[in-house]
Structure 1
Amino acid sequence: MTAPLSMVNALPQYTIGGQIGSGGMGEVFSGVHRTLGRQVAIKQLPPDLAGRVGAYVQFDREARVLASLDHPHIVPVYDYVQNLLVMEKLDGGTVFDRFHAGKIDNEQACAITLAMLSGLHAAHVAGVLHLDVKPKNLLFNTAGVVKVADFGIAQVISEGATLVTHGGQILGTPAYIAPEQAMGNALTPAADVYAAGTVLYELLSGELPFDRERGSLALIRQHMFADPKPIERVPEPLATVVMRSIARELPARYREAEAFATDLAAAATQVYGQGWLERSGIPVLHLAPRVVASLASGAAPREELTVATPKAGGAASDPTIVDPDGPGLKRPRVPGWIAAAALLGVVVVSLLAPATLSHDNTSNMSVRGAPSVGPATVDLTKPVSVTGDDVVDGDLTMSMSGAGIPLGSGTSAVEPDRDRKFTTDIAMPPIARWIVGGTVTGELRWTPKGGGPQAVQTFTLKSEQHPLATFMGTGSLLLGLFAVAYLESTARTLRRGYRRPSARYSAGFLGALVGLAIWLFTSLMLGHELSMIFGVTSVVLAAAGAVCLIVATERATLIARHRALRDARHGAPGEGDQRPAPSNTGTA
């Protein structure tokens, strides 16, 4: 495919050749600078993306990101005009091509990874994440130097990123995507560490840590919710370093690329012996001092760890401390006990609710022959018979309510007989039979003979419908199951190390729904008349218990993270370094 005329016109200083590659964010053409004679690769936004909103903005961002990175293991940018990116031309192929041709052994795999981590760390120090690290984005030049390419979806670290853009485009490759990136959480250099570790896993073992036969969505879900399978046919301690780099939980994974490179250099020296990097034939042009020290000695330097103090007001706002032994770390027992007590209280309150409420006997009316205060058992599919003395002027209205919430009403005209007695049938709304179950409060309302204010008589009403055959019964059950499932999902997310600033607020709402469901379902199944005071008590107890459960989960996760860091410090050589990137501008 020849270059389009628009490219030729935009870059008159270059001789444009044919297309040499394409990707999701650009088509690549060869070129030569007319004056310098330098071979280049020219990347252009493809025609089918040019009309999409934000496509040019993303391409412009790629140009600025690449132009800001000056590192021997990152593809350099020479020029940028409109939507055309002029880069170094790399003719050595990709890591993907060499790997599938069987031309990468284990020593070369480790050397390639060190070069990749060196470039990634330089980008991280500059405040840029790659977010699409994979073998196809690792290119060789003619001298065999590995360079990281295609920062097209890079994001500034302080801005964060998610798996899906506002336009719905998936960012990242499912086989290498980090769990937090797939879940849309805020991202750190650990996301690129995960992808780099997955690349190393594949290069060493010949396979991926997850099954990719079931499609992209299933693969993404595995990254989010499953632990990677242990790497096979790779000796210790190299296998330990690889598995730590792809740990699903953030506290157990390397936080930055240089720490990964340090441990990898030491492990590879222990496994393959001194001089393995030179024997690999893969030039690594820049290594940080501590990586060089690990490479030479076969033991990574062990340094003190710190536990960061979360910002005030966050989901995990309980104070932590910097001391690795953590004597002041708050325990989750107290909020855990409160949560358990609150749940027990909801059950007790629901069971102790009175079977019937108190109703004043202000008339001698009866519903289906029951006393004026009830309980009256009625079939809501049929008209309800009401009898009484000739004390009604006009219509008689019967309504139903549960804990003060209206559930339907019906009206009938009253016609007394010669004995000044009356019997009337009141038809309730047809939908009432599907809504009302168990025992509720009935109410009769009428205008007395001779005028005056309306008279009211309340009574206990029992529906003949089984509670599970009504919306109140099945609805309360489903509502409770939904709220419990969502609350557990929130707690599980926190246990995996992801911050949820709104977790406590949402937990309070979900807990209230659980309390409401337990009280309502228990009252319906036991035949207790619905009482507002007992319902409100159950809701408040459950809401408080759910918030305490989330607090306990946050504290337990914080302690687990602290212990993981402490164990790493006292574990194998080099496993303790998970500190944030240093403030200097050195590269890996």
Structure 2
Amino acid sequence: MTVAPSVVAALPQYQLGEQIGHGGMGVVYAAVHRPLGRPVAIKRLPGLLAEDRKMSDRFEHEARLLARLDHPHIVPVYDYVQNHGEHLLVMEKLDGGTVWSKFSEEGVTAGQACAIGLATLSGLHAAHVAGVLHLDVKPKNLLFTSSGVLKVADFGISQVISEGATLMTHAGQVLGTPAYIAPEQALGNPLTPAADVYATGTVLYELLSGSLPYESGGGALAMIQRHVYQEPRPLGPAVPRPLAEVVMRSLAREPQARYRNAETFAVDLAGAAAQVFGPDWLTRLGVRVHLSPAVATGSTRPSQHPTQPRETLALNRVRGTMVDAPPVTQIGSQTLIPASSVLAAGPPARKTGRWFALAGALVALVMLALPFTVTGRDLPVLTQDLSQPVVLQGKAPTTLTITVAGVTLATVTGDPAAGLELPGVTRWIVGGAAVATVKGEDAQQEYLLKPLASPMLSIMGVGSAVVLLFTLAYLESILRSLRRRQAGTGAVIIAAPLGFALGVAVWLLPTVLLRNEPALLPTLTCALLGAVAAVCVAVATRRAAA
């Protein structure tokens, strides 16, 4: 890509070369300082700086701070140029590639990941002491020298451009890197070193596991929403427990729950690495990391495990495959808005999901109350031992029909005085109560037939309990799959018949135990309420996990 004439005019002492990088925070060119013959990298900052005088003044102040940073793990800034409408940072040119290039091409071991984390935290702590936050820590901003020393680049640029907040376009593109952003930064809250602790923890999580703490699909804004509203996924069993505990603490959503600064994070990380790899792991790994005295002490804690030989530290490389959301590369002509204005209302899917959850809860309450409020018709009670023939008044042939919820279980005809014997299956089906219709030559009478045996010794009693437990267990399995995003629309559809069966059981079991009439209309009403409640809860669960 051709270098803009304004950049060439602003840097008469430099021989400009090809573009070697670009992103939301600017474009980087290779160059050579003519008088000294020194290779440098020149970052051309976004045109938004030139358009806003206050922002330009703020960055000039920040550039002075950056120029004072002198640390083995920070890319040094040699010069800051404001000329011909350009804002240009002249920095050391590093030829060893980035952590991302190494991670995606060769892969890194757990020991190398810990060394990268310690070097990053060492540089960050020095910057924090000097009053500079990074706010865009990611593998592509961690560079290696040709001899393999890691250095952190791009300090303070995000802080100046966005004043610490996360900005986005109306189209939903985010300025910066949403995969590593701290929740408080996304929400535009006051920032502390804990924001850089969070981003470094995310980088370390990725280097150790090969994936990010959150799913990366759905676009930049969706990625940010997960950081704000969801808990990170625990590191898998392949990551040693001491390391996993340290990393997960750095990813706490509340800043107060994280490490208070980069150095305390580094102390625990060094100690965990020493427990896993042995106290001399950095020496055996052959990686040059500048450690403060506190961190160095932690890195040599007595190991709880046998010291591993150097060759084992090079095993089990993890490779990066994450495709990040595309950054906003041109911001001068675009209107930027704070992402917090969108995030404050909560994710749209989750917001509507709450209404579904509320509707499901209300419908479920009505369903649960129905069996205790609807008692059926006021009929004469006929108490009977169903193992014996049912004896009735009268001499003429009589027909006895037994029904439950509108379903006819048996119809027998005979001499009422001698007794009408019910089929064996009917005796076991009828639990708390059933409707007995007695029809003679001239009259018909309905009774509420109540067996003498316990209601739970019947198919109605045991069956309704079994159906209740089965449907509850199946529904919980479906909801668990939806929460883990392992199921989709099909699971919501399956929830409807399961809810219908649950409603029938919820109606029948209390009715049987209370020995009330299991009428058809309340049964269907309760079943429909169960179906609606199950679908609402399934939809709410799916949207909450979206």
- Taking structure 2 as the reference length, the TM-score comes to 0.51
How far residue 171 of structure 1 moved from its aligned partner, in angstroms, is 5.3
How far residue 114 of structure 1 moved from its aligned partner, in angstroms, is 0.3
Please, which of 193, 201, 206 is the counterpart of residue 210 of structure 2? 206
Q: What one-letter code is carried by the residue in structure 1 that aligns with 2:132? A: V
- Equivalent-residue separation in structure 1 for 2:302 and 2:249 (angstroms): 18
The Cα offsets for residues 157-205 of structure 1, whole Å up to 9 and x where unpaired, read as xx97333499999554211111111122111111110000000000000
Hey, what does 1:250 align to over in structure 2? Answer: 255
The equivalences for 1:100-179 within 5 A come to 100-155=104-159, 161-164=164-167, 170=174, 172-179=176-183
Structure 1 residues 139 and 133, CA gap change in structure 2 (3 angstroms)? same
Helix, strand or coil at the partner of 1:193: helix
The equivalences for 1:86-97 within 5 A come to 86-97=90-101
- Equivalent-residue separation in structure 2 for 1:169 and 1:54 (angstroms): 24
How far residue 24 of structure 1 moved from its aligned partner, in angstroms, is 1.5
Q: What one-letter code is carried by the residue in structure 1 that aligns with 2:31? A: G
How far residue 63 of structure 1 moved from its aligned partner, in angstroms, is 2.6
Structure 1 residues 235 and 187, CA gap change in structure 2 (3 angstroms)? same
Q: What one-letter code is carried by the residue in structure 2 that aligns with 1:163? A: T
Structure 1 residues 175 and 36, CA gap change in structure 2 (3 angstroms)? same
The Cα offsets for residues 73-104 of structure 1, whole Å up to 9 and x where unpaired, read as 11111112211211100111111111111331
Could you tell me whether the CA contact under 8 Å between 1:265 and 1:298 is conserved in 2?
A: no
User: 1:275 aligned to 2:280?
Assistant: yes
CA RMSD of aligned residues (A): 2.8
Structure 1 residues 73 and 213, CA gap change in structure 2 (3 angstroms)? same
Helix, strand or coil at the partner of 2:96: coil
User: 1:237 aligned to 2:242?
Assistant: yes
Helix, strand or coil at the partner of 1:41: strand
How far residue 276 of structure 1 moved from its aligned partner, in angstroms, is 1.5
Helix, strand or coil at the partner of 2:37: coil
Structure 1 residues 198 and 88, CA gap change in structure 2 (3 angstroms)? same
How far residue 254 of structure 1 moved from its aligned partner, in angstroms, is 0.6
Deviates more, 1:163-172 or 1:263-272: 163-172
- Equivalent-residue separation in structure 2 for 1:296 and 1:226 (angstroms): 36
How far residue 56 of structure 1 moved from its aligned partner, in angstroms, is 4.1
The Cα offsets for residues 240-261 of structure 1, whole Å up to 9 and x where unpaired, read as 0011111112332111000000
User: 1:29 aligned to 2:25?
Assistant: no
- Equivalent-residue separation in structure 2 for 1:186 and 1:47 (angstroms): 26
Q: What one-letter code is carried by the residue in structure 1 that aligns with 2:122? A: S
Hey, what does 1:288 align to over in structure 2? Answer: 292
Hey, what does 1:563 align to over in structure 2? Answer: none
Helix, strand or coil at the partner of 1:103: coil
Q: What one-letter code is carried by the residue in structure 1 that aligns with 2:276? A: V
User: 1:260 aligned to 2:265?
Assistant: yes
How far residue 55 of structure 1 moved from its aligned partner, in angstroms, is 6.2
- Equivalent-residue separation in structure 2 for 1:298 and 1:196 (angstroms): 26
Hey, what does 2:73 align to over in structure 1? Answer: 73
Could you tell me whether the CA contact under 8 Å between 1:94 and 1:138 is conserved in 2?
A: yes
Q: Between Structure 1 and Structure 2, how many residues are aligned?
A: 297
Hey, what does 1:440 align to over in structure 2? Answer: none
Structure 1 residues 171 and 189, CA gap change in structure 2 (3 angstroms)? farther
How far residue 282 of structure 1 moved from its aligned partner, in angstroms, is 2.8
- Equivalent-residue separation in structure 1 for 2:48 and 2:133 (angstroms): 26
In structure 1, stretches of 5+ residues that fail to align are 301-588
- Taking structure 1 as the reference length, the TM-score comes to 0.47
The equivalences for 1:577-588 within 5 A come to none
Helix, strand or coil at the partner of 1:79: strand
Structure 1 residues 4 and 116, CA gap change in structure 2 (3 angstroms)? same
Helix, strand or coil at the partner of 2:216: coil
- Equivalent-residue separation in structure 1 for 2:158 and 2:210 (angstroms): 28
- Equivalent-residue separation in structure 1 for 2:48 and 2:185 (angstroms): 26
Hey, what does 1:180 align to over in structure 2? Answer: 184
Structure 1 residues 23 and 60, CA gap change in structure 2 (3 angstroms)? farther
Hey, what does 2:200 align to over in structure 1? Answer: 196
Flag the structure with higher helix content. 2
Structure 1 residues 179 and 208, CA gap change in structure 2 (3 angstroms)? same
The percentage of aligned residue pairs carrying the same residue is: 64
Structure 1 residues 128 and 45, CA gap change in structure 2 (3 angstroms)? closer
How far residue 280 of structure 1 moved from its aligned partner, in angstroms, is 2.9
Q: What one-letter code is carried by the residue in structure 1 that aligns with 2:300? A: A
Could you tell me whether the CA contact under 8 Å between 1:40 and 1:86 is conserved in 2?
A: yes
- Equivalent-residue separation in structure 2 for 1:165 and 1:209 (angstroms): 22
How far residue 61 of structure 1 moved from its aligned partner, in angstroms, is 5.1
Could you tell me whether the CA contact under 8 Å between 1:245 and 1:253 is conserved in 2?
A: yes
Could you tell me whether the CA contact under 8 Å between 1:33 and 1:39 is conserved in 2?
A: yes
Structure 1 residues 5 and 120, CA gap change in structure 2 (3 angstroms)? same
Hey, what does 1:435 align to over in structure 2? Answer: none
- Equivalent-residue separation in structure 1 for 2:57 and 2:98 (angstroms): 27
Structure 1 residues 221 and 125, CA gap change in structure 2 (3 angstroms)? same
Structure 1 residues 153 and 227, CA gap change in structure 2 (3 angstroms)? same
Structure 1 residues 30 and 128, CA gap change in structure 2 (3 angstroms)? same
The Cα offsets for residues 335-360 of structure 1, whole Å up to 9 and x where unpaired, read as xxxxxxxxxxxxxxxxxxxxxxxxxx
Structure 1 residues 68 and 299, CA gap change in structure 2 (3 angstroms)? farther
Helix, strand or coil at the partner of 2:78: strand
Hey, what does 2:530 align to over in structure 1? Answer: none
Could you tell me whether the CA contact under 8 Å between 1:132 and 1:171 is conserved in 2?
A: no
- Equivalent-residue separation in structure 2 for 1:33 and 1:143 (angstroms): 22
Structure 1 residues 165 and 47, CA gap change in structure 2 (3 angstroms)? closer
- Equivalent-residue separation in structure 1 for 2:123 and 2:239 (angstroms): 25
Q: What one-letter code is carried by the residue in structure 2 that aligns with 1:200? A: L
- Equivalent-residue separation in structure 1 for 2:175 and 2:187 (angstroms): 12
- Equivalent-residue separation in structure 2 for 1:185 and 1:97 (angstroms): 32
How far residue 134 of structure 1 moved from its aligned partner, in angstroms, is 0.6
Q: What one-letter code is carried by the residue in structure 2 that aligns with 1:192? A: D
Could you tell me whether the CA contact under 8 Å between 1:39 and 1:88 is conserved in 2?
A: yes
Could you tell me whether the CA contact under 8 Å between 1:155 and 1:161 is conserved in 2?
A: yes
